[in-house]
Amino acid sequence: MAAIDLTVVKAQKSHSLRQVSSILPALCLVQHGTKQVIWDEQCLNVESHQLLLFPAGMRFTVSNIPENSLYLAEMVAIPPQLISRFRQRYGDHLLPSKRNALESNLRCKVDMYTAEAWRQLMASIAAKAPDRLQEHYLEGVLLALSLHNDLSPILSNRSDTLYERVQQLIALRPSYEWSTTKVAQQLHIGESTLRRRLQAEGKSFGQILLEVRFGQALNLLQTTSKAIGEIAIETGYASASRFSHRFRSHYGITPSELRKSM
C-alpha cells in the first residue's frame, strides 16, 4: 500500500482547464473560493466548505475561482484497495441513490462529522502517519459522507479495464519512453492485442499517454515551484516549448499562464 495522495491547489486569479480527469476516483474539498465543473453540457458550482466527488476517467472543464484573491482546495485520490474494502464493510448500508442526475450526486454536504473526519485525515497526512492509519482516516471520511450522500459515482464496482491498467503502468514512470511494444511487454500481452482491446474500449495508446503525462504535469505545476522545463522533462518532454504547446492544446491554457494565476 502507498500513502494517501494529497494535492493542495492554491490560486490568486481565476483560471480554467479543459479535459481534466483523474486516474483514480478522488474527493475534492473546497476550502475557499469556488470550483466550477462542466461536463456533458452540465455545470456545477462547488463552493467553500463543499465537497466534490471526482469519478475516475470522467473529463471535466474545471474553473478555480478565488474569493478575495484566494482559492484553496484539497484533493485526495482514493486507492483501489480502499474502495474494495469499504464496499465490503459498508456496502449494504450505503445511502441508495434516489436521484437520476449525476449533478446531484457529485456535490456533497459536509456536516460536522465529515469536517472532523477530514481534519483527522489531513493531520495524519501532514504527520506522515503510517499508510494504514492514513487509509483508516480516509475510510472515516467516506463513512461520514455516506450517511447523507450518494457515493456511487466513486464507489461503483468498475471492471479492471485494460485502459486502467495501461494508465496505472504509465503513471509509475511518466517520463519513460513508453511505446505500445514496451507496454505490451510489461502487461504480457501481444502488441496487436493491446491495440485491439484499447480500441474496443474507445481509447488509444497515444491518448492514454497524453492524459497521464499532463495529469502529472498539472499536479506539479499547481503544487510545486519546479521550473516548467524541469516539469517537462519529468513528464517525458525534452523540449519545454513543445511541452507548453501540447499542454495548451490539451488544457486550453499554457503552463506559464497557469503559474501566473497561482
* 162-186: pLDDT as tens digits: 888 898 889 888 999 999 999 999 9
* 179-205: pLDDT as tens digits: 999 999 998 899 999 999 999 989 899
Phi, psi at residue 65, to the nearest 5°?
A: -120, 110
Using CA atoms, how far apart are residues 126 and 114, in angstroms rounded to an integer?
A: 18
pLDDT score at 161: 82
* 122-131: pLDDT as tens digits: 999 999 999 9
Which of these CATH numbers, 3.50.50.60, 2.60.120.810, 3.40.50.150, 1.20.1260.60, describes 6-155?
Answer: 2.60.120.810
Could you tell me how many residues make up the chain? 262
Using CA atoms, how far apart are residues 30 and 8, in angstroms rounded to an integer?
A: 10
CB burial of residue 38 (10 Å; 0-12, 13-18, 19+): middle
Using a cut of 0.75, tell me whether the model's pTM lies above it: yes
pLDDT score at 95: 54
Asked if the model's pLDDT at residue 151 lies above 90, the reply is: no
pLDDT score at 160: 62
pLDDT score at 165: 85
162-261 fold: Arc Repressor Mutant, subunit A (1.10.10)
Residues 6+ apart with CB under 8 A from 95: 146, 147, 148, 149, 150, 151
Q: Are 235 and 174 in contact (CB under 8 A)?
A: yes
Cα 243 to Cα 61, 217, 220, 222, 254, distances in angstroms: 20, 10, 14, 16, 9
Q: Are 168 and 183 in contact (CB under 8 A)?
A: no
Q: How confident is the model at residue 41 (pLDDT cuts 50, 70, 90)?
A: confident
Residues 6+ apart with CB under 8 A from 142: 78, 86, 151, 155
Secondary structure element (H or E) that encloses residue 175, with its range: none
* 224-237: pLDDT as tens digits: 999 999 999 999 99
Using CA atoms, how far apart are residues 39 and 52, in angstroms rounded to an integer?
A: 14
Domain extent listing, the chain = 6-155, 162-261
- Grid coordinates representing 221 are 505545476
